[in-house]
Structure 1
Amino acid sequence: MSQTPGSPKASEQDERYSALYSNTTAVRAIASAVEGTIGPKGLDTMLVDTQGNVIITNDGVTILNKMEVVHPAAKMLINVASAQQEEIGDGTTTATLLAAALLQEGVSQVERGVPVTRVIEGIQDGVAYALERMQSRARPLEELDGDVLYQVAMVAGREHQDIARLVTESARLIGYDKLRRSEFRLADTVMAAVGAQSQVFQGAVIDKQRMSPQMPDRVEAAKILIVDDELEAEELDSEALGTEAGFLLYRQYKEQFKANLERLVTAGVTAVFTDRGVSPVAEEVLGEAGVMIVQRVASKDLRKIAEHTGARPVKRTGIAKGTEELHKFLGFAEEIYEDERMENIRIVGGAGKPLATILIGASTEEVVGERLRIAKDAASSVQAAVCGGVVPGGGALELWASREVEKRRETVRGMTGFGVEAVARALRRPMTQIVLNAGFNPLEKVEEASVAQIEQDTDALAIDCEDGSVADMMAGGVYDPTPVKLHALQAASEVTVAIMRIHTIIRMKDETLQED
């Protein structure tokens, strides 16, 4: 039974759970910053820093990561969104809303007099059951040519048809098997630039330029060497150089290095990509031989080049290999050229695995930044759908799972059941917010959808945000990737439990301050 506000018992409870109430308030504030962005009628947020720089976005994780936040519980929630982005690439707003809803419902049970530990047990039980039931509703996506893939990209891409088309085309070019590889991320193939023509480029695009304008800007039938290191001679420390023997050894290293560079030219190398810097000697020797050098290339880009061209990266000592052995490490591409307008290097027709790069263009920095975020979300969702299947979107699955958890509640004895009840209520939050953002009464519309799901025995019914009617999400092409849903609920549960376990907040002393 709840206590009358102002009564001694109520005051005692407020003091006992002050940390929980403080954390809950902070989490609610964070969730309110992104709740208006969810759904087809969600609006954008303008972020402004102290220098007047502006970001206009609908992306939940971008909003959260750019916010100025000091409260530790709020930071925990932001970390959940970041983890969702890192692991799945989409669904950050859903994860945030579910976490806030779970915490709010959990605290409501505590205020009723349910022990925190029992609420936590119930939340864990209810979430585990919800995840199991939601997983059972996944529809496998076994081909890339159907319309479902495009619809997934449309939903995650906020109905940008051009982006959905490009992402879908890229996925089909890359292929089903590669999309299911855990080390491959389709979102990493997305690039954006002001003034660029949006397209799927069948090859690798590296956001770099050739080392010197005197080097060729185009190489055909290219033999490619990747140096996962700096392209410089072996160095000696200053102490060794101070001796006559050390100086002679230094000269020997330099001469050997130059001979190795000339051997690269003899082996027919016409393009070199390095992880780090390139010495003036290497620039001179290779440049005079007409070799294109691209230095300080990111490791992920080097891996991309290697995969596409069939090259095997070597360390700087590897250039000392004999000509015949060196050939085993070289890659091949039909063409490498520098796009001077876009300031990037493009590699076409590699002898390795097919590669597609999604190029996104726009007229201004602000717009291109948002289109890049949208394209990455769409790419992540498409890959997640290929890996884990799809479920109805629009909050339909969560609403269905809410009723399944309510059934579970009837089988759980004791006060733990109140925690299960909290999960059932929280699962209604995504549809509630989507309907609210569309301008309809969520109490009325969510209940309409729930009754319709029961009557038609389906998990696919939700609210059409155009006219407020109950509609079949899958028939309307509103799909969400199953992994996005599952990971969002799991992450929300974990942060909720972590916050509810906090009994006291204590400020730590600064260990960096040294006493005199």
Structure 2
Amino acid sequence: MAENTLINSEIDNKFQTLLSNANAARVISQTIEGTLGPKGLDIMMLDKFGDVVISNDGVTILNLMEVTHPVARMIINAAKSQQSEVGDGTTTATIIAGALVSEGAAQVLKGVPVTQVIQGMEIGIRHCLELIESRSRAVQSLDESCLFDAACIAGRGQRELAGLVIEGAHIIGRDGLMLPDYKFSDAVLACEAVDSRVFTGIIVNREALNLEMPLVINNASILVVDDALAPGEIDAEAKSTESGFQYYLKNKEQYQNDLFKICGMGINLVLTDRSIDDIGEQILTDAGIIALQRVSRREMDLVCKHTGARKIKRHGLSKDKQQLSTYLGKAARVEIDQQARHTIIYNGGAEKMATILIGAATEEVVDERERIAKDAAAAVQAALQSGVVPGAGALEVWLAGQLEEMVRQMQGMSSYGVLCVKEALLKPFTCIVSNAGFNPLEKLRDVIAQQMQCHTDSLGMDCDSGEIVDVFSAGIVDPTRVKLHALKTAGEVATAILKINTIIKMRDGNTPDIINLE
């Protein structure tokens, strides 16, 4: 009886779960608020072994955080979705989601039914998405300055990296970047102790089997073996019999003949996804062929796309020369970089690919520079595909003003949900201003006043001077797709969290327990 009374009292406390969830959302949001904007600072993360990661990339921080609360994990998953779909805007999505949950909880505590709050949020977000699309400025050419501006903003103001990304975009071309299944950010690769540069080609994260193999070959003819390079396997028991041993010798002879045939076809680069045995290594070395073993599946696919090679199994090597030649790929040049311990394939004979190679001094710096460059590349592709809108939180401030006008014409309690969206949209701007060292209330008032006076969505604050400027003229722009997906994702996760009435932990045997989240 006492146990039932305890469970009933916990269920009757309808605000307990709401307050706990709102607090979890607020903590997650506050963790990364200080990283937003050009003046945002970094966060250092330590693991139990003392390894360090320093970053101001939202999704990186959230991924590495130790989180146990289910609502916190929901918000982190929303940030991951933003990263997967767009490649940028994870911090903004997280901050807006946290603000939506906090504002929605505050309205519910005042007595507004949660269903009305959620309905109003959905109305407000839907209206904002329509407004964002209507304010988007299309990008027609890779030479437009707004593409470089978008890369700079997403790339934390690092103009050198932004320039490399734009150079890589020109190699791929507008048509290639517009393909929905191509991710430009995959072209970015960071390494220690190398010079940053852009080239037409790909990098395979493997070096030659031994130092006797060539370091450079021109007019490469490439064979990709989707298998190990060794004689056909036979178990020890079968090998101990006369017939089994003869079968083994026949396989070994066939294998060696296939290798000599490869050497006689002018092939000078061989890649395998598994190991190459000693016999294969020796024969290929004597023939002056570069051999790379245990190449990843992803890199083998890139080699095939770029060079026109087709994967072949080891048993397929017994085909005649004419048939085997149809599996070969071509490239203008192959180089082994012994310092970076990788192989570069330049100017393949099939699909054009670019590599944006980013260099840095240490492992920690390399990782962060790679994340920055990937964000910049994702922003360039998103801007080209969807257009650009004002950045620096200016668009969100303008949208908040439009929602305020909308609320004045609404009837019913769902207007309180629209107000939640309005307040949440102001959060990114106030974080940017605060991180830049200015008073967010003062600057918010100034921006709202001037936007209303000039009837524009592009007035925001310059984070260096604190002056109110036209952010488009100042080159502060964001891809439209980033804004759309961030707001949509934040809205979906916030409404899902506000709908949660009780959290139940399942015991062994599927008997539920009410979790006390106080």
Residue identity in the other structure for 1:509: R
Deviates more, 1:175-184 or 1:97-106: 175-184
Name the CA shift for 1:198/1:329 in 2 (closer, same or farther; >3 Å).
Answer: same
Instruction: Please tell me whether residue 338 in structure 1 is matched to residue 348 in structure 2.
Output: no
Residue identity in the other structure for 1:320: S
> Helix, strand or coil for the counterpart of 1:433?
helix
Alignment equivalent of 2:163, drawn from 165, 188, 203: 165
1:290-309 alignment to 2 at 5 Å? 290-309=288-307
C-alpha distance in structure 2 between counterparts of 1:381 and 1:276, whole Å = 36
Residue identity in the other structure for 2:57: D
Displacement of 1:245: 5.4
- What corresponds to 1:110 in structure 2? 108
C-alpha distance in structure 2 between counterparts of 1:212 and 1:235, whole Å = 25
C-alpha distance in structure 2 between counterparts of 1:73 and 1:238, whole Å = 56
Displacement of 1:95: 0.8
Instruction: Please tell me whether residue 227 in structure 1 is matched to residue 248 in structure 2.
Output: no
C-alpha distance in structure 2 between counterparts of 1:24 and 1:387, whole Å = 35
Could you report, residue by residue, the CA deviation over 1:218-266 in whole angstroms, capped at 9, with x for unpaired residues? 2221100112333344435667667665555444443333332222222
C-alpha distance in structure 2 between counterparts of 1:72 and 1:497, whole Å = 15
Name the CA shift for 1:474/1:334 in 2 (closer, same or farther; >3 Å).
Answer: same
> Helix, strand or coil for the counterpart of 2:371?
helix
Name the CA shift for 1:247/1:410 in 2 (closer, same or farther; >3 Å).
Answer: farther
> Helix, strand or coil for the counterpart of 1:183?
coil
C-alpha distance in structure 1 between counterparts of 2:395 and 2:232, whole Å = 61
Deviates more, 1:399-408 or 1:293-302: 399-408
C-alpha distance in structure 2 between counterparts of 1:402 and 1:174, whole Å = 38
C-alpha distance in structure 2 between counterparts of 1:511 and 1:284, whole Å = 60
Structure 1 length as normaliser, TM-score? Answer: 0.92
Could you report, residue by residue, the CA deviation over 1:175-209 in whole angstroms, capped at 9, with x for unpaired residues? 11111122222211112222211111332222221
Structure 2 length as normaliser, TM-score? Answer: 0.91
- What corresponds to 1:3 in structure 2? none
Name the CA shift for 1:318/1:24 in 2 (closer, same or farther; >3 Å).
Answer: farther
- What corresponds to 1:8 in structure 2? none
1:47-446 alignment to 2 at 5 Å? 47-236=45-234, 248-410=246-408, 412-446=410-444
Alignment equivalent of 1:19, drawn from 4, 17, 20: 17
Name the CA shift for 1:272/1:107 in 2 (closer, same or farther; >3 Å).
Answer: same
> Helix, strand or coil for the counterpart of 1:492?
helix
- What corresponds to 2:491 in structure 1? 493
Deviates more, 1:340-349 or 1:308-317: 308-317
> Helix, strand or coil for the counterpart of 1:141?
coil
Could you report, residue by residue, the CA deviation over 1:306-332 in whole angstroms, capped at 9, with x for unpaired residues? 222222222333323321122222111
C-alpha distance in structure 1 between counterparts of 2:463 and 2:89, whole Å = 19
**Is the 1:310–1:332 contact (alpha carbons within 8 Å) kept by the matching residues of 2?**
yes
**Is the 2:308–2:351 contact (alpha carbons within 8 Å) kept by the matching residues of 1?**
yes
Residue identity in the other structure for 1:70: T
**Is the 2:25–2:102 contact (alpha carbons within 8 Å) kept by the matching residues of 1?**
no
> Helix, strand or coil for the counterpart of 2:13?
helix
Deviates more, 1:287-296 or 1:389-398: 287-296
Deviates more, 1:312-321 or 1:89-98: 312-321
> Helix, strand or coil for the counterpart of 1:333?
strand
**Is the 1:133–1:404 contact (alpha carbons within 8 Å) kept by the matching residues of 2?**
no
Could you report, residue by residue, the CA deviation over 1:89-144 in whole angstroms, capped at 9, with x for unpaired residues? 11110011010011111111111212222222222222122112111211111101
> Helix, strand or coil for the counterpart of 1:16?
coil
Could you report, residue by residue, the CA deviation over 1:419-458 in whole angstroms, capped at 9, with x for unpaired residues? 1221122111111111111122222211221222222121
Residue identity in the other structure for 2:27: A
> Helix, strand or coil for the counterpart of 1:428?
helix
C-alpha distance in structure 1 between counterparts of 2:114 and 2:241, whole Å = 72
C-alpha distance in structure 2 between counterparts of 1:411 and 1:296, whole Å = 65
- What corresponds to 2:514 in structure 1? none
Deviates more, 1:139-148 or 1:294-303: 294-303
Unmatched tracts of structure 2, length 5 or more: 1-8, 511-518
C-alpha distance in structure 1 between counterparts of 2:506 and 2:206, whole Å = 45
Deviates more, 1:89-98 or 1:182-191: 182-191
C-alpha distance in structure 1 between counterparts of 2:508 and 2:329, whole Å = 53
- What corresponds to 1:32 in structure 2? 30
- What corresponds to 2:4 in structure 1? none
C-alpha distance in structure 1 between counterparts of 2:423 and 2:165, whole Å = 35
Alignment equivalent of 1:456, drawn from 449, 454, 457: 454
C-alpha distance in structure 2 between counterparts of 1:409 and 1:321, whole Å = 74
Could you report, residue by residue, the CA deviation over 1:322-376 in whole angstroms, capped at 9, with x for unpaired residues? 2112222211112111011121111123222332211111222222222121111
Identity, % of aligned positions: 46
C-alpha distance in structure 2 between counterparts of 1:344 and 1:322, whole Å = 32
Name the CA shift for 1:124/1:234 in 2 (closer, same or farther; >3 Å).
Answer: farther
C-alpha distance in structure 2 between counterparts of 1:48 and 1:157, whole Å = 24
Displacement of 1:170: 1.0
Residue identity in the other structure for 1:225: L
> Helix, strand or coil for the counterpart of 1:145?
coil
Displacement of 1:413: 4.0
C-alpha distance in structure 1 between counterparts of 2:134 and 2:243, whole Å = 73
Residue identity in the other structure for 2:60: T
Q: State the number of aligned residues.
A: 502
**Is the 1:276–1:295 contact (alpha carbons within 8 Å) kept by the matching residues of 2?**
yes
Displacement of 1:213: 2.1
Alignment equivalent of 2:480, drawn from 443, 464, 482: 482
Could you report, residue by residue, the CA deviation over 1:431-487 in whole angstroms, capped at 9, with x for unpaired residues? 111111112222221122122222212111111112222111100000111111111
Could you report, residue by residue, the CA deviation over 1:277-314 in whole angstroms, capped at 9, with x for unpaired residues? 22333323323222111122222222222222222222
Q: CA RMSD in A?
A: 2.3
> Helix, strand or coil for the counterpart of 1:47?
strand
> Helix, strand or coil for the counterpart of 2:135?
coil
C-alpha distance in structure 1 between counterparts of 2:371 and 2:12, whole Å = 42
**Is the 2:11–2:502 contact (alpha carbons within 8 Å) kept by the matching residues of 1?**
no
C-alpha distance in structure 2 between counterparts of 1:406 and 1:250, whole Å = 81
C-alpha distance in structure 1 between counterparts of 2:405 and 2:260, whole Å = 75
Residue identity in the other structure for 1:448: D
- What corresponds to 1:471 in structure 2? 469
